[in-house]
Amino acid sequence: MAYVHASVRTLVSLLISAALLAGCATSAPEPAPQVRHDATRSITKIELVYNEPDQLSVMDGGGSAIMGWAGVFGPVGTLVALGVEVGTRMTLASRIERRSKEFTAVVKSSGAMPLNRQFAEQLAARLRAGGREVKLTPAARMDGELAQMKAPGFEPTPGYSTLLVRVTTTYGAPDMTSSFKPFVAIEQSLRDEQQAVLHQTTHTSDLEEPAYLAYDGLLQDPARAQDGLRQGLARIVQPAYAGMFGEDGPPRLAGSETTRTASFHAR
């Protein structure tokens, strides 16, 4: 289950990035918003490439939130707590892999519309409403950090700018005694016809509900759990659009033939 480990790496990267931003650390500055939007607003044809298969992760940080209270119960309590802390962290990777595989299978069997595809279609609809032609291209999960993100086997369509979108959907808990809550991340990279990057960023959405104290509760409630992730993704559609093109007022209706979907098997 290589995708599970990829999701873990992605989340770790996102958390590091968030920590850096919170500490006011910066990399190369982005162009001024007006300049960036002047460049992106001239785009009329976009190929939106997204990771098609839903790959849902379930992860906890191991250990226990009560570790800090272990000393209250004396030396024996401290030793027991330490044993639990070490043991759960040693089995972290295998636990994430097993649970993610189980949860993905249960949600997939429910027959509900895949999360990644629905988000891509919602973002495509927003792009069309801004007057742009959109070609949807499903692909395998993209490789690399955001700045070097690539879709395996993808070749850009001549005449189209490219919007790469990597979707990450997770139920996470900081430790084994805290509730699992939904967290989603959208990494996006907008490139011109020559594949020069015009805009790239990451949007995240973490919700308080639904929350599951135990993994079994999450596994037994796939419809509601999936809906929690769906709500998180829906919240990102407008910020994802506005980050690329700015707030352009009331959306304009696009023509009925402005969306096409290409199979990533067809290339």
Position 161 pLDDT exceeds 50: yes
Position 260 pLDDT exceeds 70: no
Alpha helices in the chain (DSSP H): 2-22, 33-40, 74-90, 92-109, 115-129, 215-219, 222-234, 237-245
Q: What angle do CA 111, 117, 122 make, to 5 degrees?
A: 120
Any idea which of 3-7, 20-24, 194-198, 202-206 has the lowest mean pLDDT? 20-24
d(CA 219, CA 239): 31
- pLDDT above 90 as % of the chain: 57
User: Mean per-residue pLDDT for 22-28?
Assistant: 40
Own/partner contacts of 114-118, CB < 8 Å, gap of 24 or more, are 114/52, 114/53, 114/54, 115/54, 115/56, 115/167, 115/169, 115/226, 115/229, 115/230, 115/233, 116/50, 116/51, 116/52, 116/53, 116/54, 116/167, 116/169, 117/50, 117/52, 118/230, 118/233
| Bridge partners for 169 per DSSP | 56, 184
Phi first, then psi, for residue 54 (nearest 5°) are -70, 125
Position 55 pLDDT exceeds 90: yes
Higher pLDDT, 216 or 87: 216
Any idea which of 5-14, 158-167, 226-235 has the lowest mean pLDDT? 5-14
Looking at residue 36, its pLDDT comes to 73
Position 76 pLDDT exceeds 70: no
Lookup: tokens for 91: 């089995």
Position 93 pLDDT exceeds 70: yes
SS3 annotation, 17-53: HHHHHHCCCCCCCCCCHHHHHHHHCCCCEEEEEEECC
Any idea which of 25-39, 88-102, 161-175 has the lowest mean pLDDT? 25-39
Number of residues that this document lists for the chain: 267
For residue 219, give the amino acid letter: L
Position 3 pLDDT exceeds 90: no
| Confidence tier at 37 by pLDDT (50, 70, 90) | confident
| Confidence tier at 64 by pLDDT (50, 70, 90) | low
Q: What share of the chain is helix, strand, coil (3-state, %, to 5)?
A: 45, 20, 35
Position 158 pLDDT exceeds 80: yes
Q: Going from the N-terminus, what domains does the chain have, and what CATH number goes with each?
A: 2-261 (3.30.160.150)
| Confidence tier at 110 by pLDDT (50, 70, 90) | confident
For residue 196, give the amino acid letter: A
Looking at residue 78, its pLDDT comes to 40
Pairing between β-strand 133-139 and β-strand 259-261 as defined by DSSP bridges: parallel
